[in-house]
């Protein structure tokens, strides 16, 4: 119900406010000559759909990362996965001239995979790899490095900067319906892979030895989980830019309602994450009218205090 109300609000709220009756009329009639109908069909509905799909992808990816690493501080944004995907996309656009999402989504996948491998490798230097704080610190360092490189490219390439100056901070603004249709096949694969990870994640949450005793192939299971995260994060970043903290906050909120059972945790994360993303986008539209605050900024304002709280708490949350 809350998600449905957020969808309605996302379509109705903006620089030009529309009543529910006007929204319903636009959905039923869809007159091309009515400016309000054009705003709804060409701007707000695609924007809302991108928020729903990207949010679901980030929520699932965050829950899987926290489960497979048994790290309560893990998140696609904090661990550098989103920023790595962003860097590769910007390189593809600036250097290779790639313009369509169906083209640069592959670069997003590549960047997400390379970033995840680099973060784990850096956190493993000197032994003790996989410790929650070490992974979080390695992710923060890689995120800063990738972000600096991305900013450097955008500052020196005016055409790329003009095209993606809002995209680089994470935004649902200006997204077209074509992006949704191009992303759907990739997201479908990611959602199937993610939801197939529930049994192995439940096993891993009790430790590798227990998972092996229960008959799980731990190496193969981790590989499937990693592939799901790369596909989900790569596609979400290609659609909306690098949006951080959604994958951190949502699994913890879902865990309060479902407990540690991933059969329920993953589907609930898939619902709560788009709710958070749409609400953050709505807040960004109304707090600085007639301008907008990009959704990536709003989620950072929400997620940064949550991240600090988790670090200060200093104990492992069941994953």
- Residues 296 and 290: their CA atoms lie apart, in Å, by 18
- Residues 177 and 46: their CA atoms lie apart, in Å, by 5
Nearest one of 254, 274, 273 to 319, comparing CA atoms = 254
Nearby residues of 57 by Cβ (< 8 Å), 6 or more positions away: 187, 190, 191, 232, 233, 235, 236
Q: What is the pTM of this model?
A: 0.83
List the structure tokens of 241: 């830019």
Angle at 317 between CA 61 and CA 170, to 5 degrees: 35
Nearest one of 86, 83, 72, 82 to 249, comparing CA atoms = 72
Rg (CA), the chain: 19
pLDDT digits (tens, 9 = 90+) for 148-195: 888 888 788 777 776 666 556 677 777 777 888 888 999 999 999 999
- Residues 71 and 227: their CA atoms lie apart, in Å, by 18
pLDDT at 318: 45
Alpha helices (runs of H) in 125-245, residue ranges in sequence order: 132-156, 158-164, 177-195, 198-204, 208-213, 218-240
pLDDT at 62: 92
Q: What is the pLDDT along the chain (319 residues), one digit of tens a residue?
A: 788 889 888 888 877 777 777 777 777 776 676 777 778 888 888 899 999 999 999 999 999 988 888 877 777 877 788 888 888 888 888 888 777 666 777 888 888 888 888 887 887 776 655 566 677 788 888 888 988 888 888 788 777 776 666 556 677 777 777 888 888 999 999 999 999 999 999 988 888 788 888 888 888 888 898 889 888 988 888 888 878 788 888 998 899 899 889 999 999 999 999 999 999 999 888 887 777 788 888 888 887 787 777 667 654 444 4
Alpha helices (runs of H) in 97-176, residue ranges in sequence order: 101-124, 132-156, 158-164
Nearest one of 291, 239, 244, 195 to 78, comparing CA atoms = 244
Peptide bond into 167 cis (omega under 30): no
- For the chain, list the domains and their CATH numbers: 2-313 (1.10.3470.10)
pLDDT at 56: 95
């Amino acid at each position: 119900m809350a998600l449905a109300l957020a969808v309605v609000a996302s379509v109705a709220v903006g620089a030009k406010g529309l009543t529910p009756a006007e929204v319903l009329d636009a959905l039923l009639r869809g007159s091309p000559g009515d400016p309000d109908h054009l705003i709804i069909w060409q701007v707000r509905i695609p924007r809302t759909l991108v928020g729903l799909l990207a949010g679901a992808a980030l929520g699932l990816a965050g829950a899987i990362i926290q489960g497979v690493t048994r790290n309560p501080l893990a998140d696609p944004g904090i661990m550098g996965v989103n920023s790595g995907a962003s860097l590769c996309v910007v390189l593809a656009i600036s250097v290779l001239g790639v313009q369509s999402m169906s083209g640069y989504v592959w670069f997003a996948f590549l960047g997400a995979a390379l970033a995840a491998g680099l973060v784990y490798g850096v956190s493993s230097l000197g032994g003790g790899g996989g410790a929650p704080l070490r992974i979080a610190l390695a992710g923060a360092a890689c995120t800063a490095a990738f972000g600096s490189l991305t900013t450097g490219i955008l500052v020196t390439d005016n055409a790329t900067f003009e095209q993606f100056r809002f995209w680089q901070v994470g935004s649902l603004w200006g997204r077209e319906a074509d992006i949704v249709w191009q992303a759907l096949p990739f997201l479908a694969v990611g959602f199937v892979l993610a939801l197939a990870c529930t049994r192995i994640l439940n096993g891993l949450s009790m430790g590798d030895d227990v998972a092996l005793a229960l008959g799980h192939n731990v190496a193969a299971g981790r590989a499937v989980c990693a592939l799901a995260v790369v596909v989900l994060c790569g596609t979400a970043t290609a659609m909306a830019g690098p949006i951080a903290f959604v994958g951190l906050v949502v699994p913890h909120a879902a865990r309060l309602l479902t407990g540690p059972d991933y059969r329920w945790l993953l589907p609930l994360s898939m619902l709560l994450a788009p709710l958070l993303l749409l609400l953050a986008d709505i807040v960004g539209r109304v707090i600085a009218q007639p301008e907008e605050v990009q959704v990536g900024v709003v989620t950072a304002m929400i997620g940064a205090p949550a991240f600090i709280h988790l670090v200060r708490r200093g104990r492992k949350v069941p994953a």
